[in-house]
Amino acid sequence: MTAPHFIPLSQYQSYPDDEMSRRAAEYYQLMDARRTVREFSDRVPPRDVIENCLKTASTAPSGANLQPWHFAVVSDPQIKKKVREAAEAEEREFYERLAPPEWLEALAPLGTDSNKPFLETAPYLIAVFSQRFGVLPDGRKVKHYYAVESVGIAAGMLVAAVHNAGLASLTHTPSPMGFLNDILGRPANERPFLLLVVGYPADDARVPDIGRKPLESIASFH
Ligand code: IYR
């Protein structure tokens, strides 16, 4: 058994109540201005922005701190083309055959279809993988706990970091996504969790006129 080793919580920052309230309200305002975008510009943001957003995602809490994620960043036009072709093939199957009418009805307000030009237009596609187990240098497997939950939290933090940087994103989940392992050469212990499309919105980008549930309907205080 590895003995625990503790260090002081030296980076914790506390604020007076009024400042805390202001910070919480300002962060809400920032995040409330986030919209999922499906029309991207081909303008390329600096790579260090993407790197810092990934580092932010990697600060997410995870089961037993095993950090069961991998982020594959695609900017190569030929790889983006392959991803688009594979994703559109799955999406055609989804929209034309697999999706039950109820699901199509739920998607109707978003105006989505099997055409995914943004997979080639947007400068970065970040394929987020969840690792069901880790592999040590000597080949031994390490079981990961709550891998999907951990990766979900990291993905949420990535979405927030991208928005904070002034970029737009789309959480895209063509289903099934196994083609991402093939195209990106990721090992079998990794499952695609989502494909985050990242970039500047197109100048004339439009978004569906939809809203968010009010606090009273999403939270209860006990
Ligand atoms: N994967 C399809 C369908 C889709 C499903 C959900 I749930 C969405 O919130 C949006 C789309 C697509 O990307 O078009």
Closest protein CA for atom 9 of ligand 1: 107
Give the pLDDT mean for 5-26: 98
- Rounded percentage of the chain residues whose pLDDT exceeds 70: 100
Q: Is the pLDDT of residue 179 over 90?
A: yes
Q: Which residues, including other chains, have CB under 8 Å from residue 96's CB and lie 6 or more apart?
A: 114
Is the pLDDT reported for residue 33 higher than 90? yes
Summarize the confidence of residues 199-211 as an average pLDDT.
97
pLDDT at 138 > cutoff 90: yes
Going from the Cα of 178 to the center of ligand 1, the distance in angstroms, rounded, reads 16
Ligand 1 centroid to residue 197 C-alpha, Å: 13
Residue 40 tokens read as 């991207």
For the Cβ of 91 lying below 6 angstroms from any atom of ligand 1, the answer is: yes
- The pLDDT score that the predictor gives to residue 167 is 98
Reported confidence tier of residue 14, pLDDT bands at 50, 70, 90: very high
Beta-bridge partners for 127: 72, 195
Q: Is residue 70 lining ligand 1, measured as CB closer than 6 Å?
A: no
Q: Of 112, 170, 177, which is best to mutate to test ligand 1, by the most ligand atoms within 8 angstroms of its C-beta?
A: 112
Closest to 90 measured CA to CA, from 171, 177, 193:
177
Q: Which amino acid is at 53?
A: C
Can you tell me the distance from the alpha carbon of 206 to that of 36, in angstroms, rounded to the nearest whole number?
Answer: 10
Please, what is the average pLDDT of the chain? 97
CA of 36 to the centre of ligand 1 (A): 12
Q: For the segment 40-62, what is each residue's pLDDT rounded down to a tens digit? A: 999 999 999 999 999 999 999 99
Residues 154, 130: contact at Cβ < 8 Å?
Answer: no
- Taking only Cα atoms into account, the Rg of the chain, rounded to an integer number of angstroms, comes to 20
Kindly state the average pLDDT of the residues 9-32.
Answer: 98
Q: What's the rounded Cα separation, in Å, for the pair 217 and 137?
A: 48
CB 120 within 8 A of CB 77: yes
The verdict on the CB of residue 107 being under 6 Å from ligand 1 is yes
Residues 118-130 have a mean pLDDT of: 98
53-107, pLDDT tens digit by residue?
A: 999 999 999 999 999 999 999 999 999 999 999 999 999 999 999 999 999 999 9
Ligand 1 atom with minimal separation from the 99 CA:
3
Provide the percentage of residues in the chain whose pLDDT is more than 90: 97
pLDDT interval class at 144 (50, 70, 90): very high
Phi, psi angles (nearest 5°) of residue 202: -60, 150
Q: Ligand 1 center to residue 104 CA distance, Å?
A: 9
**How far is residue 101 from each of residues 63, 90, 95, 96, 98, measured CA to CA in Å?**
37, 17, 10, 11, 9
Q: Which domains does the chain have, with CATH numbers?
A: 37-202 (3.40.109.10)
- Residue 172 reports pLDDT greater than 90: yes
Q: Give Cβ neighbours of residue 70 (< 8 Å, ≥ 6 apart).
A: 128, 129, 131, 186, 190
Span 169-192, mean pLDDT?
96
Q: Please tell me the predicted confidence (pLDDT) of residue 1.
A: 87
Are the C-beta atoms of 120 and 81 separated by less than 8 Å?
A: yes
Interval 162-169 mean pLDDT: 98
pLDDT at residue 215 in the model:
98
> Is it the case that residue 175 has pLDDT exceeding 90?
no
C-alpha distances in Å from residue 135, one per residue of 127, 132, 175, 189: 20, 10, 26, 9
